[in-house]
Chains A and B, each alone.
Chain A
Amino acid sequence: MSVPLIEVRKASRILGGEVPTTLVADIDLVVAPGEFAAVIGPSGSGKSSLMYLLGLLDVPTSGEVLVDGRPTRALDEDARSALRLSHLGFVFQFHFLLPEFSARDNVLLPMRALGRLAPKAQEARADLLLAELGLKDHGWKRPDQLSGGQRQRVAIARALANEPAVLLADEPTGNLDTASSAQVLRLLREVAAGEGRAVVIVTHDPTIAAQADRTITIVDGRIVGDQARAAG
């Protein structure tokens, strides 16, 4: 059996303070290659908190998160950043593109930070990704010159730039119209289908979750359901 891309073992995240707040509790979760999983739950249920734990943006108070088989809880911030850069990609509800940079430069950003590819190869990959996402002629445009759907596609291209093992998407269609949402979801499905990657999408929209292969339901910070979609 192959190593899970991400494995969460009994992870809890509790915010300190006079009245401790439990964001997520006792999470056990395995993300395997090729999965297109949706995390659903009502607002405030801990979906995003779970995604931040999966993405190493946050550290569990207890338990462990393993990325590519490596425990991460004891890692320092720099090591977690390095792991994020090379293994994980993020797409958020808001595109979070750097406003002063062109679409192409935004896609180049993680590749330049990682430095795994030569500059020419980085540029070729950025152009390829933009072309695959239908933005071939929009690479020179800055985010404010793009539509909402185009920006989100640039954000997906940026998330895919370093060929991450897992793409984590937090309400990626939350700010998009129906047509753009459908296009983004189709793209995410394609990502999950290729090269042994996995996509975990956080959403509160059941219709979006219905398109995933697996639905993880979270309520009050606990996983209350984890169902694979019936084949067919």
Chain B
Amino acid sequence: MNLVLEIALTHVRFRLRQTVVGVLGVATGVGFSVMMASLMEGSQRDFIRQLVDALPHVSVTDERREPPPQPAAAVYQAVAVLGLSTDEKRKGISNPYATIAGLEGWVPGAVAPSVQTKAVARFGGRDTTATVIGIDPRREVKVSQLVTQMRDGTLDGLHKASNAVILGDGLARRIGIRVGNTVTLATADGRAFYAQVTGLFHSGVRQIDENQIYTLLRTAQVLAGRTALINEIRVRVDDAMQAREVAGRIEKLTGYKSVSWQEAHEDLLSAFQIRNAIMIMVVGAILLVASFGTYNIVSTITHEKARDIAIMKSLGFRESVVRRIFVLEAAVIGLGGCLAGFVLGYLLCRGLGLIEFRTGFSDRTGLPLIYEPAHYLLAGGVALASSVIAGYFPARKAARVHPVEIIRGAS
């Protein structure tokens, strides 16, 4: 075995109590860092997955980001436009099926038309405002998770009755309706339609489950008062993380506002960034505290070993060799702490996984944890590096010991 390593290992082996304390310090840091990273990233991924699953990855609507220029502006250099009022009715996407066909040619995923309108759902004297989404069930299954979110009835049930609707289970609960009942859908202009509830869905996102109603395209078009209206194209991208790029390209090609799921939840994703920054700081602080422990232990060892250092130097050991011995000791403590920390982190995650934990946001009954090797590598790497750095300073001091001073004192 290499001499430097042998001396370092001998030192840590003969100071077992100190070594164990140091290893436990680092292990605690690594273990809790792994647990925190697992929990934080697990919850973030779980949250994002629900968001991604609950909505189409890209929503192309009949709106435009910039209002179209006024015709007068094309003729005159200076135009002041005052008192404009917007159309009450949405115009819809022009030539929607041609647009869809065009998108299907290059979008890596699936595309489906839909109609969105608002209505008040009434049943048994109770009512609630709802978003009615007209869909083509054959296409919808390719762009959303609706088929897997069905709790009662099936998506095909929309074809089994005239004006059939599928309600979010939260909405159904709110107005006290069940499958087979007839709900009244009242539009903003005062018209009322009777629709039969053929199914209930549950996305896991309360806002959706309490507000959305699915129906066939033509039913929604009748409800909106415009036949052939398509005011939203729903896109599912094979790789959800590509949604932003795909949305940008669609918007550029069609001129219609295309919102990716990332854009729709920009505020939440920003919150995640802040959350991650906090997590990194907390984890960093934990590992820093652990490194102070290593510093303390290596300092103590170098102090106790001052005489040995002096004699090694008098024998002819170079400063760099002495320094390496104590840096290696810190590395051994760091490495031991990392390995023990990996076990501790894993066990903590397993333990947390057993805790029952419910939130209003999702149906999950336990804490969302993920087991990611990167967490272990990162926590271990940072702990090892901070241990080595923490060990370097006392090691450097030890290496600079003037042997004569120690030998005189000892003699």
Residues of A within 8 A of B (CB): 48, 52, 55, 57-58, 77-78, 81-86, 88, 90, 92-94, 96, 98-101, 109-110, 112-114, 158, 170-171, 174
Complex partner residue of B315 from A52, A84, A100, A171, CB under 8 angstroms: A84
Q: Chain B: which residue is nearest A162 at the CB level?
A: B316
Assess whether B411 is in contact with A81, with CB atoms less than 8 Å apart. no
Given contacts A84-B315, A110-B316, 9 further A-B contacts (CB under 8 A): A81-B317, A81-B318, A85-B316, A92-B407, A96-B308, A96-B311, A99-B308, A109-B3, A174-B411
* CA distance in complex: A84, B321 (Å): 15
* CA distance in complex: A119, B317 (Å): 18
Assess whether A112 is in contact with B3, with CB atoms less than 8 Å apart. yes
Residues of B within 8 A of A (CB): 3, 7, 10-11, 13-14, 307-308, 310-321, 403-404, 407-408, 410-411
* CA distance in complex: A109, B320 (Å): 16
* CA distance in complex: A82, B11 (Å): 24
Assess whether A96 is in contact with B410, with CB atoms less than 8 Å apart. yes
* CA distance in complex: A82, B319 (Å): 11
Q: Chain B: which residue is nearest A110 at the CB level?
A: B315
Q: Chain A: which residue is nearest B316 at the CB level?
A: A85
16 A-B residue pairs with CB within 8 Å: A52-B404, A55-B314, A81-B317, A82-B318, A83-B316, A85-B315, A90-B314, A90-B315, A94-B410, A94-B411, A96-B407, A96-B410, A98-B311, A100-B10, A170-B411, A174-B411
Q: Chain B: which residue is nearest A111 at the CB level?
A: B3
Inter-chain contacts of A100 with B (CB < 8 A) = 10-11, 13-14
* CA distance in complex: A52, B320 (Å): 21
Inter-chain contacts of B408 with A (CB < 8 A) = 48
Assess whether A81 is in contact with B313, with CB atoms less than 8 Å apart. yes
Q: Closest CB of chain A to B256's CB: distance in Å?
A: 73
Q: Chain A: which residue is nearest B13 at the CB level?
A: A100
* CA distance in complex: A110, B408 (Å): 21
* CA distance in complex: A110, B11 (Å): 18
Assess whether A57 is in contact with B314, with CB atoms less than 8 Å apart. yes
Assess whether B316 is in contact with A114, with CB atoms less than 8 Å apart. yes
Inter-chain contacts of B317 with A (CB < 8 A) = 81, 85, 113
* CA distance in complex: A110, B316 (Å): 8
* CA distance in complex: A113, B411 (Å): 25
Q: Closest CB of chain A to B313's CB: distance in Å?
A: 7
Assess whether B319 is in contact with A113, with CB atoms less than 8 Å apart. no
Q: Closest CB of chain B to A49's CB: distance in Å?
A: 8
Assess whether B316 is in contact with A171, with CB atoms less than 8 Å apart. no
* CA distance in complex: A197, B377 (Å): 56
Q: Chain A: which residue is nearest B9 at the CB level?
A: A100
Inter-chain contacts of A113 with B (CB < 8 A) = 3, 315-317, 321
Q: Closest CB of chain A to B38's CB: distance in Å?
A: 40
* CA distance in complex: A99, B301 (Å): 14
Q: Chain B: which residue is nearest A78 at the CB level?
A: B318
- Give me the 8 closest cross-chain CB pairs, A-B, nearest first: A85-B316, A84-B316, A96-B311, A112-B3, A100-B14, A100-B10, A93-B411, A81-B316
Q: Chain A: which residue is nearest B317 at the CB level?
A: A113
Q: Closest CB of chain B to A43's CB: distance in Å?
A: 12
Q: Chain A: which residue is nearest B403 at the CB level?
A: A57
* CA distance in complex: A77, B399 (Å): 11
Inter-chain contacts of B410 with A (CB < 8 A) = 92, 94, 96
Q: Chain B: which residue is nearest A142 at the CB level?
A: B14
* CA distance in complex: A100, B314 (Å): 18
* CA distance in complex: A170, B11 (Å): 27
Q: Chain B: which residue is nearest A83 at the CB level?
A: B316
Given A86-B316, A109-B315, A112-B3, are A57 and B404 neighbors across the interface (CB < 8 Å)? yes
Inter-chain contacts of A174 with B (CB < 8 A) = 411
Q: Chain A: which residue is nearest B310 at the CB level?
A: A96
Given A84-B315, A85-B315, A86-B316, are A92 and B411 neighbors across the interface (CB < 8 Å)? yes
* CA distance in complex: A85, B311 (Å): 12
* CA distance in complex: A98, B7 (Å): 10
Q: Most chain-A CB neighbours within 10 Å: which of B307, B312, B313, B316?
A: B316
